[in-house]
Structure 1
């Protein structure tokens, strides 16, 4: 009678809805796993008829005994910018990394940072160094710097060696699996909230490079609103290469918006420079509250839930590693995380909402 196939960690993991790493830790009594989860996994393993492979166990014991340095599953975090720590200046990006590290830890992985702009280090050579260290997963943080012209933002790694995922979408080549904030839906949510407050002349002021970083999703959502909801009150968005007080003043004088949607302090600087009061003269909303300094905690806007974006990137990456998926995917996957509306004192009710 043929011998019944041995039950694998993958089968247990799929049945339990956890990673193979979690199953391995549970079976060995290791790691920071709740007793409830450990007991559930052990019960599933028993029901499936799992039996440890004694030969594999002996082999792993010999491997551990022969190494004086403890081994840890590790993922590589690829950061960029003019300096090694440039990305840390931005709260949104720090939260991406915090979310990534926390989620990686829950799978049993450590995260090690590598700087893409290391002097004298090509991407190809850096990739070989990462691979030689036994790292099989790459988390690519948003590329620092403004996007200009047709810059492809190409990474020249040998991606056939790795599973890889990008946070955001600043890398244009190759087209990888990505986790990002749902900028389009968040913009529509902001507009709905402003309409509910009674605002009717809604304007948008953006830095061109920032809108390019999100692939035009902010302006696309704004255009949709104006075409389908407010064609009789159309205010063209003011998209500028840099803050320009004179251009803003002329636009404001012509269109008289009663509220302005912007990002970071880009619109705020020009509003303040022109002597306008918020919310008395004009309301103000930020599409990324993390981009504002602490003194602007009173601003209404969108919490992009950036930690969850980072965590979702690791979910994608670990899934690819477990499937043995390497290289550039034929059909890249996107996970978009929903933002949360946070009301503040920079917007206020405008009186009774008129019926459409």
Structure 2
């Protein structure tokens, strides 16, 4: 018919992407992908939540892409190439023995990351007998030329004085500042911004920040900087050298926050009973299924990134302190938890207060 374009078929509705489902649920795209795999390591509760969101959006996994990814995953792993060393403080190494926690996840992330690149990891603990001289001899004897420094037990700790000019190295976290090697760590500033944006969306107006002095140093003041950049009063920051502070309840009573931001999930458990009724969000929660709302930093992912940086340094034959050290930041995953009101609940509460 005249007046119609040559292609008169109605436009096709754009397909829903994996990213859209991930954003709706508040998880990573990898988690969404795993939810569609029967044997994938994911809780049934989270799997159900992802599948319900996918159904709501009308998302269907691409069968061809799934088969292609399965084909890639089934191929033989990269053959062994070399061994790296991960250096631990005795205190952090002891925490790995508990079978859970941040450093336990770092440990397994290093192993998985090394395996992905065809490497293996030797773990060295800096005991009194394991002096820098002994470690140097050990590395030479095992022909290890790549080293990863894991986070120390204290933010002001010094790294071992090894013969760094003969080694490629990467660091996890900000504690070891010198030598300035390639580094991977959580994006602390951006994580705080994400929390503040969420609180703003849910109409919180009087947040306060609880932060341990050691963590303040480890984050390079990132949490504090973002909190202040959003215009919040420095007087609304409680900094302490201990998590057990009797005066904290009195301070909270003076500040009167409508939500408490803690640098770690543990703060919520340590709050007196009356203060636990105040809404709470943590900048680091223990697991993706935590009851506390906040950011899951995924230590295993951080550890894998450190292996990526070390492999890059080895491929480029970098030794010692690099001329342009790389900084790789991870974003973490939002965990809804039960300690923070939803946007709908907060709006409803606000409406009732104005009636």
TM-score, with structure 1 as normaliser? 0.70
**Shift of the alpha carbon at 1:255?**
1.3
Do the aligned residues in 2 keep the contact of 1:265 with 1:291 (CA within 8 Å)? no
In the alignment, structure 1 residue 250 sits paired with structure 2 residue 250: yes
Question: Cα offset for 1:86?
Answer: 3.4
Instruction: Determine if contact 2:265/2:283 at 8 Å carries over to the other structure.
Output: no
Q: 1:129 aligns with which of 138, 142, 149?
A: 138
> Is 1:267 matched up with 2:267?
yes
Cα deviation, residue 182, structure 1: 0.4
Give the corresponding residue for 1:180: 185
- Out of 182, 200, 206, the position equivalent to 1:201 is 206
Q: Deviations over 1:174-228 (max 9, x none)?
A: 11111111011001101111111121111111111122122211111111112xx
Q: Deviations over 1:277-303 (max 9, x none)?
A: 43xxx11111111289x8xx2110001
Aligned 8 A contact 2:265 2:286 in 1: no
Change (3 A) 1:132 1:196: same
Q: Secondary structure at the match of 2:230?
A: helix
For residues 184 and 94 of structure 1, what CA distance do their matches in structure 2 show?
Answer: 24
Aligned-partner Cα distance in 1 for 2:251–2:287: 24
Question: What residue number does 1:103 align with?
Answer: 113
CA apart distance, 1:313: 0.5
Aligned partners of 1:110 and 1:323: how far apart in 2?
Answer: 19
1:190 has 2:195 as partner = yes
Render the CA deviation track for 1:248-292: whole Å, top value 9, x for unaligned.
122212110010011334422442x253343xxx11111111289
Verify the 8 A CA contact 2:265 2:284 in the aligned structure 1.
Answer: no
1:127, CA displacement in angstroms? 1.9
Distance 1:314 1:83 in 2: 19
SS of residue paired to 2:346: coil
CA contact (8 A) 1:263 1:286 kept: yes
Q: Which residue number in structure 1 is paired with residue 332 of structure 2?
A: 339
1:311 and 2:301 equivalent? no
Q: Contact (CA 8 Å) 2:111, 2:120: kept in 1 or not? A: yes
> Could you say what secondary structure the match of 1:143 adopts?
coil
| Greater Cα shift, 151-160 or 189-198 | 151-160
Q: Give the 5 Å matches for 1:135-284.
A: 135-144=144-153, 146-147=154-155, 151=156, 153-226=158-231, 236-271=236-271, 273-278=272-277, 282-284=278-280
> Deviations for 1:70-99, whole angstroms, at most 9, x for unmatched residues?
x86211111112474334546122222222
- List runs of 5+ in structure 2 lacking aligned partners: 1-69
User: Which residue in the other structure is 1:350 paired with?
Assistant: 346
Alpha-carbon RMSD across the aligned residues, in angstroms, is: 2.9
Distance in 1 between residues matched to 2:201 and 2:237, nearest whole Å: 21
**Matched residues, number:** 275
Which ranges in structure 1 are unaligned for 5 or more consecutive residues?
1-33, 40-70
User: Which whole-Å CA distance do the structure 2 matches of 1:252 and 1:124 have between them?
Assistant: 50
The alignment partner of 1:336 has SS state of: strand
